[in-house]
Amino acid sequence: MIGAGLAGSEAAYFLAEHGVHVVLCDMKPGLTPAHSSEKFCELVCSNSLKSDDTYGNACGLLKEEMRMLGSLTMAAAKESRVPAGGALAVDREKFSAYVDEHLRGHPNITVLSEEAEELPASGIVATGPLTQGKLYDAIERKFGALHFFDASAPIVSAESVDLTQAFAEDRYGRGTGDYLNCPMTREEYEAFVSALVSAERTILRDFEKSDVFEGCMPVEVMAARGMDTLRFGPFKPVGLMWEGKRPYAVLQLRRENEEGTSYGLVGCQTNLKFGEQKRVFSMIPALKAAEFERFGVMHRNTYLESPKCLNADLSVKDCPDLFFAGQITGVEGYVESAASGLVAGYHVLNRLLQRPTVVPPATTVIGALSRYVAAENKNFQPMNANYGILEGGYEGVRDKKERRKLIAERALYDIGRFKREYFG
């Protein structure tokens, strides 16, 4: 097993729990510029696991499917959860510590602390979207590689937020007031957007001529599309009231840890220079004296052109004992990455036990994602969990809420049947 991020950790733990001895190779305690901890499974932000709404959100449904299959990620999230309304947010340090402890302490897992440089003949490669060095070169020689770019948002200290210019409330009164909202008048918002669009960005070699994944679009790129783009996107004020009326625009802050000492700027992933981030975001009244604990960064994500080289069980087409898992396969998002690691572990176990390959049903999110990365696609791009990739979406049901409920009920029934008949 190469890589101890979410996908690699899920796969290693699944196999170890089923009696397979796993050699888990990871470069840590060595760190890249994207790492800050020596522990496995670092998350970029507390809300990396997104919505927990099983019956109204595809990623929420995926998480419930994973819980049913015994996911290590979901167990870690349960133990490290912090309040965030309808989202599954975690204390990142506690989350990583939980996974790290369960891997390093498992009797069937041997951790090899070194950087892999070659593709193995058999096993699982789950090195993630930041695969680099000699291993990246080896993958590129064999398969060719694509890439896109994504970004993370700044984090500020809670005590530096001006609470006279902010209020705690979840949209439409849902949740338990886990977000801090920073309202802006029209004049304040337009001045902020103008400054954001004209601010100096970090130059990252070939970034400017490369594609940016839409789900991780830097806030300054969104703002450049039009003055009202943010106000109808991450800065939308709908469902919120401030001093008896709806604000013109609102930046939401979300807890980054259980203690609530740090808050992330929701929807503000950015590629601005650090000094510019402080200058521009401090124009928001509630953040005028904000202390930034982490500035946003932008980095390259590497992924395979999977339809050309992977089967739906995540094995390599011309090397059936070699598997890939995680974002390098073209699933996008932490939950999706972990899910692919879980099923990769299951498929490897099947191969070891000489059992037939059975991909999870296409009516489940976890099965639909497996099929997506292997299906013929001339314009292959990374894919999040979404209802559009599931088989049979109850198109005849007009009410969206009812339609999603039916999809979820069917998916949970099918994943339960799959587990009883094939999984483990």
Secondary structure (DSSP) of 92-136 = HHHHHHHHHHHHHT-TTEEEEES---S--SSEEE---TT--HHHH
**Which tens digit of pLDDT belongs to each residue from 288-317?**
999 998 898 877 778 999 999 999 999 999
Q: How far apart are CA 146 and CA 258, in angstroms?
A: 37
Q: How far apart are CA 326 and CA 314, in angstroms?
A: 10
User: What tokens were used for 338?
Assistant: 């972990």
Q: How far apart are CA 266 and CA 152, in angstroms?
A: 10
Q: Identify which of 309, 373, 332 has the alpha carbon closest to the alpha carbon of residue 149.
A: 332
Q: How far apart are CA 221 and CA 317, in angstroms?
A: 38
Alpha helix (H) residue ranges in 311-352: 334-352
pLDDT of residue 129: 78
Residues of the chain with pLDDT under 70: 29-37, 44-47, 149-150, 175, 203-216, 424
pLDDT of residue 190: 98
CA angle 246, 250, 252 (to 5 degrees): 130
pLDDT of residue 30: 57
pLDDT of residue 256: 81
Give the domains, in start order, of the chain with CATH numbers.
6-145+304-421 (3.50.50.60), 155-299 (2.40.30)
pLDDT of residue 46: 62
CA of residue 241 relative to chain centroid, distance: 30
pLDDT of residue 207: 38
Q: Which residue spans within 256-336 are E strands per DSSP?
A: 262-265, 292-294, 298-303, 315-316, 319-324
pLDDT of residue 217: 81
Q: Identify which of 296, 294, 282 has the alpha carbon closest to the alpha carbon of residue 162.
A: 282
CB atoms within 10 A of CB 308: 13
Q: Identify which of 300, 280, 293, 307 has the alpha carbon closest to the alpha carbon of residue 375.
A: 307
